[in-house]
Structure 1
Amino acid sequence: MTAGPRDRLIEGAIELVREQGVHGAGLAALLDRSRTSRNSLYQHFPAGKGELVEAATRVAGQRMSTVIGRVTATGAPHEWLGALIVWWKTTLETSGYTAGCPVVGAALAESEPGVQAAAGAAFADWTALLSAALARAGLQGERADSLAGFVISALEGAIVQSRATKSTRPLDDVLVNLGPLLDSPRGV
């Protein structure tokens, strides 16, 4: 089944924000990438580009939440981290290091408070999912929350560095340094 204009607009926005950030994803490029008209944009997103990018950020965030939920369903915490790193290495290498995390791009959109809020909500959801998984693995309370937030920060920072250096070494460093920490009984 062929995606309709709304879905194509969202997919195009996700792709462009992954590659160029919110401000680099101009309206003409969004319409071209999604193969839609300006009329379709305003029919589905009456407030324009900002509303579209906000919706795209929510969709991208939900997709990563699904990935996190899937990888934390079984195995040990270091295996979860390893699975997320493999996922990101594949994404970065497949794109030639041109496509990063669209939620990071949205987080940097200071002039778009709705977009930035959607990014913040995605980060909070990912942290909560990982924290709950760490709690199931035996790490409790504030320590699980703190470590989960640290893991998300380390992964996102490594993704940015990987794009800049055209290398997955920063992601390898996250696994080497955080993997043992995640499996320690107290997360220390």
Structure 2
Amino acid sequence: MESIFGLVGNDFAIVAADTSAVHSILVHKSNEDKIMVLDSHKLIAASGEPGDRVQFTEYIQKNVSLYQFRNGIPLTTAAAANFTRGELATALRKNPYHVNILMAGYDKEKGAELYYIDYIASLHKVEKGAFGYGSYFALSLMDRLYHKGMSVEEAIALVDKIIIEIRSRLVVAPPNFVIKIVDKDGAREYAWRESIKDAGVAGA
């Protein structure tokens, strides 16, 4: 029951994701961070098969770093999103990655941007987006309450409303969420919204 969603505000972008690692009917952990910091001013949130999600996002992160190392300049958010789409498209007919991505970034020239990339390698620049079962509620709330130029406080209030709705409506709802933000000051963790803590292994 994965849920990732994000939006663009006034010179910033926010991405939130559930932190549950599940397989079938089992919850393995409730503090899995599904939002990776790509570089100083980019975030990539991913949902999908756990192996594909971790392997592919790490692959993109290392290649973005390699480009900056070789060329002395970082990729723009648009360039990183197009590179990611290209890698998904290349893999699509060989060994596809079952992973859906929201990529957020901040560039001096263009400001904050958010890109929607799905597992069949379609790419769209959006102002708001979501994946997973929680997207039904995230998208409906954002359609109603989102507006251009939102402040950080307004965006966080909307994110919190979405989290409450997901917890209330999904029959198997993820209890914990992580929220990250990217703006002119860089990409960073903003907050966690936790309703349960991971218990230690019995007898450990």
TM-score by length of 1: 0.26
TM-score by length of 2: 0.24
- Which has the larger strand fraction? 2
Which has the higher relative contact order, 1 or 2, with Cα contacts under 8 A spaced 6 or more apart? 2
Larger Rg over CA atoms: 1
- Which has the larger helix fraction? 1
